[in-house]
Amino acid sequence: MTCDRLVCANCAAPVSEGRCPVCRASRERLQHQEGVFAGLTPATLLALLVALIAVAVAVHDFAA
């Protein structure tokens, strides 16, 4: 999850701007929770999945 679209309940500003201490704390917490695929868009993840399936099919056909 990214803080791009989150709105702070404390100050009603976007969390990504970090206007209040609550925003800044939430932004820091989210940045620490980001994993390997956190920066990827759903379209990129779908493309990676399709590529993985294509490789699996190619390996299966080659082995048979």
pLDDT tens digits for range 7-64: 888 998 888 888 899 988 888 887 777 667 667 788 998 999 999 999 999 999 988 6
Q: Return the domain boundaries, the chain.
A: 1-33, 39-64
pLDDT of residue 1: 52
- Residues in Cβ contact with 17 at an 8 Å cutoff, skipping those fewer than 6 apart: 23
The DSSP code sequence of 11-23 is T-SBGGG--SHHH
Task: Work out the number of other CB atoms within 10 angstroms of the CB of residue 30.
Answer: 16
C-alpha 55/C-alpha 64 separation (Å) is: 14
Closest CA to 22 of 32, 7, 34: 7
Q: Assign 3 a pLDDT band (cuts: 50, 70, 90).
A: low
C-alpha 35/C-alpha 52 separation (Å) is: 20
